[in-house]
Chains A and B, each alone.
Chain A
Amino acid sequence: MDNSNMTITIDGQPVAAEPGMTILEAALAAGIYIPNLCHHPDLKPVGICRLCMVELDGRGLTLSCMTPVAEGMDVRTESPDIDKVRRVATELLIANHYPDCLACAKNDRCELQRIAAYVGVDQKGLERLRRTERRFEVDRSNPFFDYDPNQCVLCGICVRTCDEIVGVNALDYAFRGFQTVVSTFGNRPIAESTCVSCGECVVRCPVGALVPKDMPRPSREVKTICPYCGVGCSLYLGVRGRRVVSVRGDRESPVNQGRLCVKGRFGYEFVNHPERLTAPLVKRNGRFVEVSWDEALGVVAERLQGYRGDQFAAMASAKCTNEENYVIQKFVRRVMGTNNVDHCARLCHAPSVTGLVQSFGSGAMTYSIGEIQDAASIFAIGTNTTSAHPVLALEIKRAVRRGAQLIVANPKEIDLVRHACLFLQHRPGSDVALMMGMMRVIVDEGLEDKAFVAERCENFEAFRESLSAFGLDFVETTTGVPREKIVQAARIYATRKPGAIFYSMGITQHTHGTDNVLATSNLALLTGNVGRTSSGVNPLRGQNNVQGACDMGALPNVYPGYQKVSDPDVQAKFERAWDGPLSPNPGLALTEMFDAIDQGRLKALYLMGENPALSEADANHAREALEKLEFFVSQDIFLTESNRMAHVVLPAASFAEKDGTFTNTERRVQRVRRAIEPPGQAQPDWWIICQLARRMDVGGFDFSHPSEIMDEIARLTPSYGGISYNRLENGGLQWPCPSADHPGTRYLHAQRFNTPSGKGRFVPLQYRPPAEEVEPQYPLVLTTDRSLYHFHTSTMTRRVEGLEKLDGRELLRIHPDDAQRLGIADGDRVQVRSRRGRIEVQAQVTEICRPGVVSLTFHFWEAPTNVLTHAALDPVAKIPETKVCAVAVEKA
């Protein structure tokens, strides 16, 4: 096909165009306005508004949005015929339209106003066309936006957005002729429909039909990164006065291309929340008292002096910036003289690091979000992507629209299943059996990539032998998945290339989490689906900066850039750089810290922006441990279930109030920018820690801006070597980025793996059942899940009124068969008991769960799910098995 540019003529002007463009696109690109209403650059053209009429020689009136350009085309945008047609089309739209433009939220940004002004309308014409009043009720059911059908022009942009971009299809046309209206299924209020409240239709609506509630126009905008999940969507915070008043997706971002989810677009109210901490608090006689920074820092510095060494530990935060995590691990190592630093990655992707490092030499997502759309097959196991990584899920759906075959493996029938060609509903904890079964099929049928295995991998024979234990009889019984489906999945993934694997907590949060991860990497190596574009193994990171917190060495065994604390050369390097002695002994993992506190080995704790009292497995145990601490200091933006137990609480700045960087799930380091001042006396976390270090008389903490911290990070961290704030001004950089002239790395392992031998390593696996299995007293398996509307322990999301309205309580999901047997009806209060604790929640009877499996989120402090979960650890990664525990359920 000819890809050279061509020239067309519009009203006598030569205009450059590219093949495949429509006339309308060429005109708009050249700055020539042609009235249009149903056109949107993100959507396929449909030609329904009839306004973009132009004239072509020999073809008469033609829709410019539906006509591709051709060399030499002569286009006229003005003529009496065009005028007549589009004047009537415009008048028909306006005749029955809501007349109070000044009171409309879209005033001066309305496409209909623009068209009416351009085309000109005739008052008499309007009266002639006006029909009897047809009033629809305004739908105000959604807490974030209103839908007024009276203002709708039926351009269908919302309908097509919900279909083509979001893949939810909550909206469609209903009825016909004058009665036509955009409606949800069954004409229910939007809040009761399948709508996911992402607001993508709202931002595209050209008129005042879909408008955000309470989103005043900002006086200025600041570009930054979303503080929720690891996808790392770029957005503009709108500021008015001292408050954040709006959010707008960044269309230039390669990560999200302007799209956001409900949390990212509407979940910013927590920033301005009245419960924000505004002054340092010191506990006296059991109550918090507000004190000055000087006093608070003095107390903390003095107390910490007494706990130097391994009796001290810190929990860093995947919510904080790279610079803050760098500073806190440096503080722990250099000032406190211990490697006891860890963070919540322990509870999410520790096995990805331990597993993928063994097989590939690097624990990160191997490819980029932008490559997803070109995958030919996608295997999504243990990830509820539409809830936990909504914008990345849009790319998976886009890949499916472009022909990729999606295989979903999950104990629950999650939303993604509706886009899949194959759904494997396996038993929780049977992942190794499922994937080894698939690999057995691949090897038995000779579908493996023999050249890739021979040239780029090692240890294949030992691995192949371990497959012998995974005959389909065994796999079928263990997983509960019919063998035909396993065979089909194996064939699809092995033959439709490039094939990509996505996984998340469903894989990692097990006592065999590392084995699960190794099963995914074995599968990718076996089929040659790694080290190439649009393929690979892609752990989806949960927190906005969990990748970065790991990269920064907020881990007990490594310095920044995964340089081992036990390596004498590395130790010497950091001792030189930080000018002081460092401990060669790996520290405690987060999950081990609670036992250490319990046993009196750990006496003082520094908690930065985490909430272990809700997030830890066997949370009662964690809570009891926190109470035993001799000294407990926390910095956070709110009082939480955890830091209420602290002796000192320091007020921190939120993401909107500080500069820094976050590293997203695809290793992209992106700039976070200060949009407003922190409330009261709150300060950025890096500032607080630097102040403490200075008071404790240790040098190397004299940073005046996070950019200086990044410069130090770059000097000491090879994969961040080429990263600086100057470069980040022009967009994010994906590590490895070793030097200032390196463009960053889109996908990993292209030439060689990071392992010592440079080869991808197969690891033989055995099936191990979950640590806790069902028994007559606890006959059901509890697995944990996430809600689209909340994040982690909900410290932020439950302070957003609208999110709370959309999802305000915990629900125990239970299959109708189990519910019937237990005499439980939908909506009943039930008690859920495990060997460790009990909670009371409302039951939702639903077929999305397998029989025998129930599920809960852990977002709600009123029903703290993790008092039930099991703290049995993966022996390598030390992650607790929050995805499987045995419970009993009965009517409360």
Chain B
Amino acid sequence: MSTTRRGLSERLVEEIEGLLPRYPTRRAALLPALHLVQEELGRVPHEAVVGLAELLGLKPAEVEDTLTFYGFFRQDEPLGRVRVWVCRSLSCSCRGGEELLEYLGQKLGIRPGQTTPDGRVTLEVAECLGACDYAPAMLADGTLHKNLTKGKIDAFVESIRQDASSGGLPGA
């Protein structure tokens, strides 16, 4: 993909500029712009921060302030193709969320915060998914997995393994 000298692809620049009319100032578009970058690149690298700053009339240090405040964004290591959040808030913990997190980690061979060596899955801990009535809960690429059990985890891991072998998931 062609990149401009700003460290952002032309498409990204276009998409971010498309956001601007919705906000009162350029600065206000920073968070959604960060999401767009993360979505396309799987992370928000150094050069993209410089590019975003230039595009939105900010200084790189200001962009980084916002970027690092949120656990959602990645700076250095790219994310895996699937990003899995296991909730460990009060309700989920009471109903076994922490054990399930550990179980999923063992199955994938990684700890929370890490990505599988083949780049398939990134495992994360969520402070609350807002799904307490379905505790324990897990979010995987926008799909909420409710009333999680070991069995459901097995099935989930199997499904992403198949998707990976058929190349079904879009790469980052």
Contact = CB atoms under 8 A, between A and B. Distances in A.
B64 A174 contact: yes
Interface stretch (A164-172, A541-549, A702-710, A790-798): A164-172
Contacts of A185: 49, 59-61, 64
Contacts of A169: 58-59, 61-62
B64 A186 contact: yes
A175 B61 contact: no
A176 interface: yes
A173 B65 contact: yes
Contact of B61 (A172, A176, A847): A172
Interface string B42-57: 0000100100000000
Nearest to B49: A185
B60 A176 contact: no
A401 to B, nearest CB: 13
A172 B69 contact: no
B25 interface: no
A174 B46 contact: no
A310 to B, nearest CB: 57
Contacts of B49: 185-186
A175 B65 CA distance: 7
Given A185-B49, A186-B46, A171 B61 contact: yes
B4 interface: no
Interface in A140-185: 163, 168-176, 183-185
Nearest to B65: A172
A46 to B, nearest CB: 14
Contacts of B3: none
Interface centre among A163, A172, A194 (most CB of B within 10 A): A172
A4 B38 CA distance: 54
Contacts of A171: 61
A176 B68 contact: yes
A193 B46 CA distance: 13
Interface residues of A, number: 17
Interface in B87-128: none
Contacts of B5: 847
A462 B64 CA distance: 56
Interface residues of B, number: 14
A183 B58 CA distance: 16
A175 B69 contact: yes
Contact of B68 (A163, A170, A174, A847): A174
Nearest to B59: A169
Interface in A436-451: none
Contacts of B58: 169
Nearest to B75: A186
Nearest to B67: A174
Nearest to B58: A169
Interface in B66-94: 68-71
A174 B60 CA distance: 12
Given A185-B49, A186-B46, A175 B68 contact: yes
B50 to A, nearest CB: 8
Contacts of B64: 172, 174, 183, 185-186
A168 B64 CA distance: 15
Contacts of A184: 61
Interface string A188-218: 0000011000000000000000000000000
A155 to B, nearest CB: 15
A54 B61 CA distance: 34
A183 B65 CA distance: 9
A754 to B, nearest CB: 42
Interface centre among A174, A176, A183 (most CB of B within 10 A): A174
Contacts of B62: 163, 169, 172
A397 to B, nearest CB: 13
A142 to B, nearest CB: 16
A259 B70 CA distance: 35
Contacts of B60: 185-186, 194
A826 to B, nearest CB: 15
Nearest to A162: B61
B73 to A, nearest CB: 11
A190 B88 CA distance: 38
Interface centre among A163, A174, A185, A193 (most CB of B within 10 A): A185
Nearest to B53: A185
A527 B134 CA distance: 70
A173 B69 CA distance: 9
Contacts of A172: 59, 61-62, 64-65
Contacts of A173: 65, 69
A305 B39 CA distance: 83
A519 to B, nearest CB: 31
A175 B66 CA distance: 8
A528 to B, nearest CB: 31
Interface in A53-94: none
Interface in A604-659: none
Contacts of B59: 168-170, 172, 185, 194
A10 B24 CA distance: 40
A170 B58 CA distance: 11
A186 B5 CA distance: 19
Interface string B128-157: 000000000000000000000000000000
Interface centre among B69, B70, B71 (most CB of A within 10 A): B69
Interface string A779-823: 000000000000000000000000000000000000000000000
Nearest to B60: A185
A488 B70 CA distance: 40
A175 B71 CA distance: 9
Contacts of B71: 176
A175 B68 CA distance: 5
A171 B5 CA distance: 24
Nearest to B50: A185
19 contacts: A163-B62, A168-B59, A169-B59, A169-B61, A170-B59, A171-B61, A173-B69, A174-B64, A175-B68, A175-B69, A183-B64, A185-B49, A185-B59, A185-B61, A186-B49, A186-B64, A194-B59, A194-B60, A194-B61
A-B CB proximity, top 7 nearest: A169-B59, A172-B61, A185-B60, A172-B65, A185-B61, A174-B68, A175-B68
Interface of A: 163, 168-176, 183-186, 193-194, 847
Given A169-B59, A176-B71, A183-B64, 11 more contacts: A169-B58, A170-B59, A170-B61, A172-B59, A172-B61, A173-B69, A174-B65, A175-B69, A176-B70, A184-B61, A194-B59
